Chain A
Amino acid sequence: MNWIDWLHTFFTAPARQSGPDSIVHRLAEHLAFTGESLLYAGLLAIPAGLLLGYTGRGAVLVTALTGVTRALPTLGLVTLVVLLAGVGESAVLIPLVVLAVPPLLVGAVEGVRGTDPDLRDAARGIGLTHPQVLFRVCLPAALPALLAGLRSATIQVIATATVAAYVGLGGLGRYVIDGLALRDYPAVAGGAVLVVLLALLTQLLFAGLLRYALPPGIRPRRTVN
């Protein structure tokens, strides 16, 4: 058996066409976990990050937080949370949110803090209130950094959701984990390829967002050198 055979076996099996173990269903699960945890993480991290960045407070806290979470082993976090809170989607979402918060927070803080101080002064000078400066000046200027943060958070969550299949979370990771347990190598191969494709598509999506979805004034310019 080789890769081609494995992938052929995987993609043509009837169980992958419909039902709970089908590719469409597993992909939908994976995307749902990713979206849900990013939503919760965003609701926590982005307002906090904007505020911290605008007021210039909490730099040490943010640095320390990102350092420690980068070191946190995903698998350990997932198994611990499930043992403590019981198997269930909400339990598995906790580690995903924990991993998504730091990149989002850093993106928001760095983005706002990186706004040209002259620009902020000018905005204040023409009579804008602090909230107006934050939302009309700093927020658009912070968009590239925010998107970069969202990009690393999304990549982290996609990768972690794969690992979380070990404790019973659905999604594409199931093919890999179950396949390994059952020595069903076509499933392992197919799952791995699907996860890789999803990660690549995400990359592409964010590259497109950075190019086309930003206000014209802050779009990355082609650099001369």
Chain B
Amino acid sequence: MPDDEPLVRWDWIGDHLGYLGGLTLDHAVMSLVPVLIGLLLALPLGLVCARFPRLYQPLAVVFNTLYALPALAVFMLLLPYTGPGNLSTVMIPLTFYALALLLPTTVEGIRSTPESVRQAAVALGYGPWRRLAAVELPSSVPYLVAGLRVAAVSSISMAAIGALIGRGALGYLFIDGFQRTFTTPILAGIVLVVALALLVDLVLVLARRVLAPWAIREQGAAL
């Protein structure tokens, strides 16, 4: 690094506010849409798994294994099919990572409904669907939110690696800064990725408060 180069050049940040904002928005879309799709897939799949534990065991092993694969290698494995610079090269693996995290939390959440509560719903004349919508899904909200927090934060952080294959949004700042031995964009990138992750995390915590107000007292710090 050149000796006269300060760690952060605030004027560069000032001049590039619009650019940084655009990258942050791109990054949010690229990393959070996969989490949403992952949730939409995990809910029905989780319901099926909660009813049929025999199906759940092998699926859990598969997704656990998928989750352990390094993101960069998975991007590379997809590259011949999707092409470099293609957004789906990043978004498809991120969807699977989110699904891998959300499937167990969905199953656990649905199983967490106390038997007495379930039976009370049956006694009140609730059919299976109404019970699911009014009793089992709401009571799994704390679990789902806990899974979503981990999934969203790691998705945001992993998406940056996409920069190595040409689609990383905020991750591009790391490549750019490294190639020009210029720390300002790198630091701006790190701060923006962490800030985006913390913001999404906060939104999810607030969502839990609204959707499952009873859970704050019971589960508080644990989830």
Contact = CB atoms under 8 A, between A and B. Distances in A.
Nearest to B65: A203
Given A67-B153, A167-B178, A74 B69 contact: no
A176 B194 contact: no
A180 B165 contact: yes
Interface size on B, as a range, is 35 or more
Contacts of B70: 158-159, 162-163, 195-196, 199
A202 to B, nearest CB: 7
Given A67-B153, A80-B186, A84-B183, A75 B163 contact: yes
Nearest to A152: B68
A92 to B, nearest CB: 13
Interface in B182-210: 183, 186-187, 189-190, 193-194, 197-198, 201
Helix, strand, loop or mixed for chain B's interface? helix
A225 B52 CA distance: 11
A83 B160 contact: no
B171 interface: yes
Interface in B42-87: 53, 64-65, 68-74, 76-77, 79-80
Interface in A11-53: none
A76 B186 contact: yes
A182 interface: no
Given A68-B194, A162-B73, A196-B77, A225 B181 contact: no
A83 B177 contact: yes
B150 interface: yes
Contacts of A199: 68-70, 73
Nearest to A78: B174
Contacts of A75: 160-161, 163-164, 168, 171, 174-175
Contacts of A185: 80
A68 B181 CA distance: 26
Given A70-B153, A158-B70, 4 more contacts: A70-B157, A189-B77, A196-B70, A203-B68
11 contacts: A72-B194, A73-B161, A74-B157, A79-B177, A83-B177, A173-B72, A176-B72, A196-B77, A200-B69, A203-B64, A203-B65
